[in-house]
Amino acid sequence: MTRWVMVTIIIGIYLVANLVIGLMAGRRSSKSVTGFVAADRNFGLLIMYFVTGATIFSSFAFLGAPGWAYSRGAAAFYILAYGVLGMVPLYWMGPRIAALGRRLGHVTQAQLISGRFPSRTLSALIAAVSVAAFIPYITLQIEGAGIVINSVTDGHIPLWLGGLLAYGIVVVYVLVSGVSAVGWTNTFQGVFMVVIAWALGIYLPFHLYGGIGPMFERIAQARPELLVPPGLTSTGTHWGWGAFSSYILISVVGFLMWPHLFMKAYTAKDDDTLRRTVILFPTFQFFLIPILLIGFSGVLFPQAPADPDSILPFLILRTQLPSLVVGLFCAGALAASMSTGDALLHASASILVEDGIAPFTRMSDRARRRLMRWLVLVTGAVAYWLAQTNTSSLVQLLASAYGIIAQLAPAVFAALYWRRATTAGVLSGLVAGMLTTELFRLYPAFAPFGIHEGILGLLVQIPVLVAVSLLTRPQRQEHLDAFFPAGSAQTR
Mean pLDDT, rounded, of the chain = 85
pLDDT at 388 over 60: yes
Q: What is the DSSP-derived secondary structure letter of residue 62?
A: I
Residue 155's SS3 state is: coil
Its sign, for the CA torsion 262, 264, 266, 268, is: negative
Name the residue among 196, 477, 211, 144 with its Cα closest to residue 328: 196
> What is the C-alpha separation between 405 and 417, in angstroms, rounded?
20
> Across 129-133, 195-199, 221-225, which has the greatest mean pLDDT?
221-225
What is the pLDDT, as a whole number, of residue 491?
45
pLDDT at 100 over 80: yes
pLDDT at 273 over 80: yes
Average pLDDT over residues 238-248: 89
Considering the segment(s) 3-392 as one domain, its CATH architecture is Up-down Bundle (1.20)
Q: Within a 10 A sphere around the Cβ of 327, how many other Cβ atoms?
A: 24
211 or 375: which leads in pLDDT: 211
Q: Within a 10 A sphere around the Cβ of 367, how many other Cβ atoms?
A: 14
Task: State which amino acid sits at residue 176.
Answer: V
Helix or strand run (H / E) with residue 254: helix 241-255
Spell out the residues 6+ positions from residue 463 whose beta carbon is closer than 8 angstroms to its own.
Answer: none
Q: Where are the domains of the chain?
A: 3-392
